[in-house]
Amino acid sequence: MISILSRLLLACLLLPCAWSAAQAQAVSFPELNSAIPGHQAVTYLDLAKMVVPDLAAGDDGFYKGSAPIEVRHILGGDQGGSPPETISLPNAAVLAIKAGGKDRLTMLFDLGQAQDSAEGFAVLALYDLSGKPKLLDAVNVGTDQNSYFRDPSKIAIGPDDDALITMSMHFNSNQGYVSTILILVRDDRFEPIDQINTFDENVCAYKRTQDLSFQTPGSERPYAAIKATVSDVTKPSGESCDEAAPKAASHDVTVTYHWEEARSRYVPDSDAFEKLAAENAKRF
């Protein structure tokens, strides 16, 4: 299991930055015992306890708790791992969004993983702070060992709505596995748009990366189309290695999601990402 220190380091490395096709990002990692701006009588810990009811500050600076509330997995079915018996939480990622023209707050809690589970348990929670704070929805978005908001963490799909982007990942000495989930918030509920899996390699003979980016071309109603592109790049190292280096290569894999009113959901225009995932699985 990756240590808490490693999780903290990764969280720092994945802090969001400006992205031209997205709204300015605003992911933060406030102290849980600090007051929420504009709600001085409410702390982030109060919101966190709606997810882990017995969460409390420990002597080591971490927040301790036991079982979280029961939540469904964002991808449905029997997806997802189990939470650890004891939760040790340093902080949570906080992101303000627009949903249906309303201001909403989301928090992402990476709770770790059970000893017998290959996947972490990460709760994405949606709050209404317009009156007395209320938990509107919560889902497990964990599909790998460690989970975060991706960069970008949200994209505007209309003047009144944002789509969220989370990621789960693990890595070893020369491979990185990333699972990205694109999420719609509709009627104060989280709905999955798609899961996109990418795979990076960095070995003696070459480096191959798959970088994912998003755009929202056009202004369809009620939700704009979302264009997702994986840039797959292979660069030979030029080193003398036991294995032969592949040729330098670069190509894009693109899928555009359009809102279909009749089906009441986003629909991809191809199965290109499914094919990419299958090709990547052969390289594991």
d(CA 98, CA 112): 28
Q: How confident is the model at residue 172 (pLDDT cuts 50, 70, 90)?
A: confident
d(CA 139, CA 73): 5
d(CA 6, CA 145): 11
Q: What is the pLDDT of residue 220?
A: 86
Q: What is the pLDDT of residue 2?
A: 38
Q: How confident is the model at residue 54 (pLDDT cuts 50, 70, 90)?
A: very high
The tens digit of pLDDT for each residue in 77-104 reads 877 778 999 999 999 999 999 999 999 9
Nearest one of 44, 41, 90 to 65, comparing CA atoms: 90
The tens digit of pLDDT for each residue in 208-263 reads 999 999 999 888 889 999 999 999 999 999 998 988 889 999 999 999 999 999 99
Domain segments of the chain: what residues? 4-281
